[in-house]
Chains A and B, each alone.
Chain A
Amino acid sequence: AQSVTQLDSQVPVFEEAPVELRCNYSSSVSVYLFWYVQYPNQGLQLLLKYLSGSTLVKGINGFEAEFNKSQTSFHLRKPSVHISDTAEYFCAVRIQGAQKLVFGQGTRLTINP
């Protein structure tokens, strides 16, 4: 069965600093990969997704992620964060041929002024 591990439960950074949120997955077959963001008291919103093709995926709000098949990783990055990026970020994986989306446990990103 596939699983998703988000290596950091909390990541504090200063405003305008770069950030990387780490995600590793385990699967013996091809996967689709997603990053979702959850602002306080709101539902999840899709940031970006990797289906196929270029391994560098650009999403909304200046975020991007890189799919690394050899390292089974899909880390999320932003070169310069803003206070409004404070939220919980979830990595998710879906095996090709399966219906279920499996989420990681989330990383809380806190931006300090």
Chain B
Amino acid sequence: EVQLLESGGGLVQSGGSLRLSCAASGFTLSGNTMSWVRHVPGKGLEWLSRISGSGDGISYADSVRGRFTISRDTSKNTLYLQMNSLRAEDTAVYYCAKAHTTLVTAPDYWGQGTLVTVSS
């Protein structure tokens, strides 16, 4: 059974940093593209970043490029999102998600999310 468990969210001041983790089970990160997606309260979903199964394919949304870094530890089967220079508009629930197939990044399974609150 595919399971994704995010952690690391919390309250941080504007300009601060957080690292989110996503522990995966039921599949291996080395064989699957993974994404981070966020949901701003009262607004829609925003895709942020992906890392390919091989680890050498990384992409970011313009809104986080240069501030956020996606990475993974295949020995721990865990995905990460390092978030620096946080802004109030980064306040959201952050989800990690597994890609549906090897050809597309669109998610099929999602974690339950972790809330990040950035105070100004």
A binds B: no
Chain A contact residues, CB within 8 Å of chain B:
none
Chain B contact residues, CB within 8 Å of chain A:
none
